[in-house]
């Protein structure tokens, strides 16, 4: 074993300095990530049980076991927290849809019915959380960093691509603005969730209504 007196300062300092300088930032990053995860987990449960308006930042901090200041260090607003909760939750759904949607068969209306049926089935696992997501979309105080319901690029792109494919196949009017069709379909989808809020409707009941509404919309999409 080398005795301490046999080591020069040059032998010791570089190693110690690298350890010290590298460990502190890594520790801070780990702590920040841990705080972020605790806040998201706590917020998910509170939004699901109390709704968006009924949940406060202070309650999220308390449930997460962190300070209110720590929450605001990680997120700019309650709306941004909800956006991140939903984004994390939906990653898996859209990964599956990316594989499934290109293989859907039938008319444009049939493919749209399948897409929305998948969404209803997924959101039925946490219907109240999704209702909180919808409610936040009408909060006019949301900062630009929040991504409320209706702004999800994956959902918009999925529906838009389906409509554009319908134009190419000849069962959607080429004069149609695809974004208007997207807006109309998402509006119908969101409005149907009032059935869950008011009557506790399940995914099957809401899908049945959406299927009929897509039929009504599709009639207006047919070439003339």
The per-residue pLDDT for 1 is 43
Residue in 175, 149, 179, 184 with CA at minimum distance from that of residue 161: 179
DSSP 145: T
Residue in 162, 218, 214 with CA at minimum distance from that of residue 192: 214
- Read off the pLDDT of residues 173-191 as tens digits, 9 standing for 90 and up: 999 999 999 999 999 999 9
Domains and CATH numbers, the chain: 1-75 (1.10.10.60), 79-224 (1.10.357.10)
- Read off the pLDDT of residues 86-117 as tens digits, 9 standing for 90 and up: 998 888 888 888 888 888 999 999 999 999 99
Tell me the C-alpha distance between 126 and 29, whole Å. Answer: 31
The per-residue pLDDT for 150 is 86
Structure pTM?
0.79
Residue whose pair of structure tokens reads 């929305």 in the numeric block = 116
The set of residues, in sequence order, having a beta carbon less than 8 Å from that of 52 and lying 6+ positions away, is 78, 82, 132, 133, 135, 136, 139
DSSP 11-24: HHHHHHHHHHHHHH
Structure tokens at 41: 């987990």
The per-residue pLDDT for 102 is 87
Cα of 38 vs its chain's centroid, Å: 17
- Which residue ranges of the chain lie beneath pLDDT 70? 1-25, 28, 221-224
In degrees, to the nearest 5, what angle opens at C-alpha 179 toward C-alphas 202 and 79? 60
Residue in 83, 46, 49 with CA at minimum distance from that of residue 58: 46
Residue in 65, 215, 87 with CA at minimum distance from that of residue 151: 87
Structure tokens at 96: 């599956």
Other CB atoms closer than 10 Å to residue 96's CB: what's the count? 11
Cβ atoms of residues 134 and 189 within 8 Å: no
């Amino acid at each position: 074993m080398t005795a301490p007196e046999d080591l020069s300062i040059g032998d010791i300092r570089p190693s110690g300095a690298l350890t010290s300088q590298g460990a502190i930032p890594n520790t801070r990053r780990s702590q920040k990530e841990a705080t972020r995860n605790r806040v998201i987990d706590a917020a998910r449960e509170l939004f699901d049980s109390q709704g968006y308006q009924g949940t406060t930042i202070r309650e999220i901090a308390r449930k997460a076991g962190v300070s209110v200041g720590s929450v605001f260090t990680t997120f700019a607003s309650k709306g941004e927290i909800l956006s991140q909760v939903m984004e994390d939750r939906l990653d898996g759904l859209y990964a599956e849809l990316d594989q499934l949607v290109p293989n859907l068969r039938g008319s444009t209306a049939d493919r749209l019915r399948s897409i929305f049926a998948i969404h209803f089935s997924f959101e039925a696992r946490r219907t109240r959380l999704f209702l909180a997501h919808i409610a936040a979309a009408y909060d006019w105080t949301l900062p630009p960093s929040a991504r409320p319901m209706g702004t999800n690029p994956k959902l918009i792109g999925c529906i838009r691509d389906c409509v554009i494919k319908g134009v190419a196949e000849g069962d959607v009017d080429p004069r149609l603005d695809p974004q208007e069709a997207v807006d109309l379909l998402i509006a119908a989808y969101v409005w149907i969730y009032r059935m869950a809020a008011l009557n506790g409707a399940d995914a099957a009941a809401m899908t049945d209504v959406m299927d009929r509404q897509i039929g009504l919309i599709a009639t207006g999409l047919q070439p003339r």
